[in-house]
Amino acid sequence: MKTERQISSGGVVFHRIDDKIEIALIAVKGGTVWCLPKGLLEKGEGLARAAHREVREETGVDGRILKLIDYIKYFYAHKDKGKTIRYLKIVYFFLMEYTKGNVRNHDLEVDECKWFPIDDAIKMIEYDDEKEILKKAKRMILRKPISDIT
């Protein structure tokens, strides 16, 4: 079976309320799966620009990119016109500080978007590899004042 490669980008967008950190998660698959916003790069688009666009579209909020957190890789198969295609998907995640917007303004690809305290978000997120991205993001946020993260 032939394997094709897909490159996606997404983000961990956060804000602070008093001394608490909250993360915007999206719900998909009928609202049953909570995950991080992400999507395929469009033609001519770089990783950071795609992450910024996907976060804005899927969450309804905008953010300032601070730093690349890490990437994840996984395989999946998709049937198209009776033919199964195997994909290697690589997703790059960026740490983003909330600047404006409202989670009610997410696009139709997403069933729901909500802010969660970071520890709750880590528990709720469906996929283990995204859970690890969130844990890395938490360490990055807590390690230094946000203005020092570059």
pLDDT by 10-residue block (mean), the chain, 150 residues: 91 94 97 96 96 97 97 92 91 98 95 97 96 96 60
Give me 58's structure tokens.
């899927």
> Is the CB of residue 8 less than 8 Å from the CB of residue 39?
yes
| Among 88, 84, 96, 16, CA closest to 59 | 96
Amino acid identity for residue 68 in this structure: L
β-strands 61-80, 112-117: how paired? Answer: unpaired
Four-point Cα dihedral 81, 82, 83, 86, nearest 10: 90
| Domain positions in the chain | 3-148
Q: Distance from CA of residue 74 to its chain's centroid?
A: 15
Tell the CATH topology of 3-148.
Answer: Nucleoside Triphosphate Pyrophosphohydrolase (3.90.79)
Looking at residue 80, what is its pLDDT? Answer: 82
Looking at residue 145, what is its pLDDT? Answer: 52
- Measured CA distances, 13 to 47, 54, 59, 120 (Å): 16, 11, 9, 15
Give me 29's structure tokens.
């698959």
